[in-house]
Amino acid sequence: MKKTTLLSLAFILVSYASFAQGTLPPVETKAPNSNYKPAFEGQTRTAGIKTKTPYGFKVLTEGLTSPWGVTSLPDGRLLITEKRGNLRIAKISGELSKPINGLPEVNSNGQGGLLGITIDPAFAKNRMVYWTFSENVEGGTHTSVAKGKLSADESKIEGATVIYRATPAHKGTLHYGGRILFDKSGNLFVSTGERSDLVTRPQAQALNSSLGKVIHITTDGKPVKGNPFEGQEGAKPELYSYGHRNVQGLAFHPVTGELYSNEFGPRGGDEVNHVRAGKNYGWPTITYGIEYSGKSIGDVIQQKEGMEQPVYYWDPSVSPSGMTFYSSNMIPEWKNNLFIGCLSGMHIARLVIENDKVVGEERLLSEEYQRFRDVTQGKDGALYAVTDQGRLYRIAKK
């Protein structure tokens, strides 16, 4: 019997067993790039699931230009960054504002540009906005964090100020990271990338570098007191976690309040991580991915003492970007699930997490063939997603 026939038969048997247990087979059916073994059951290719509640989606607009980040304003409208440097407001009707002026110049080459965005918890009173962007400086570019006040007429950002720069600078256009969100104490978490090049990769492991990290700073850009490396010689006090490759997703679990991230692997090895203070997430020492050329990475190990395992990983890659936990009652079965916009995967991934393990995965809107860059929960309980192709989606119960 041919090998392909045997593989097909095995897949049928696994699928039958899955259906018999009341679950679906894994949503990923393509062959992995490597033969690496997961550290625990369900770490990759977990059981498939399917939403039972009738839901639908609508394209609100196709008028955006390479949107990157989206967040909700108190009145339910959406504040959206466009990679080339524009900030826009979208009504739920799909109507877009004119570009908002007053932001610092961005370097939009490669993966750079105007990136993640969030608003102050007290925005209704102070109208403060915080964002990340790739900034030209002597010696290259930084992932930088800025803040400013949205004017009363919403035409401009007033008093834009850069509050933090992820150093060192690098002459490259890749792996800026760039997500930003507030914690419950009113401080900021910011993600950075290790800038991709072989020469910068080791800085993900270096505590004297801001590259390949999750950063924890105040709204003035200062290290948060009590950060894990505070007072440690040779370590940047703003670092919260390290050993990351390119973190484009950050979100807090709505029940536990714990921080989760996602990051791009190389060829395979995209990850979801439970981010904890002071922990090392392994890149480039351990990885479930291989080089884009097909060569192995480093010492070809996936586990090492002192380095954290991802909660979940994908092989082949789905290119995870912006993400959010769902806390609405609109679709109860989605409650506390994680939704991740996927670029090369061209879908929104829904992950069911129980006891810090992924026990179910579903792919939403895969029929749209869009590169989903960010997803957020709106004030109305619906999900809103933006795509590289310029679309804004609303996803809600029918």
The radius of gyration of the chain from alpha carbons, rounded to an integer in Å, stands at 21
Question: Residue 316, preceding bond cis, omega within 30 degrees?
Answer: yes
Residue pair 64/87 in contact by the 8 Å Cβ criterion: no
Specify the 3-state DSSP secondary structure of 379: coil
d(CA 210, CA 197): 15
Specify the 3-state DSSP secondary structure of 280: strand
d(CA 162, CA 175): 20
List CB contacts of 264: < 8 A, sequence separation 6 or more. Answer: 175, 245, 246, 248, 270, 317, 319, 320
Specify the 3-state DSSP secondary structure of 19: helix
d(CA 262, CA 255): 19
Kindly name the residue from 142, 170, 175, 274 that is annotated as catalytic. 175
Q: Which of 143, 101, 147, 113 is nearest to 127 (CA)?
A: 147
- 243-261 residues labelled b (16+ CB within 10 A) or e (exposed): bbbbbbbbbbbeeeeebbb
Question: Residue 121, preceding bond cis, omega within 30 degrees?
Answer: no
| Token pair listed for 18 | 């899955």
Known catalytic membership, residue 253: no
Q: Are strands 180-182 and 188-191 parallel, antiparallel or unpaired?
A: antiparallel
Catalytic center residues: 175
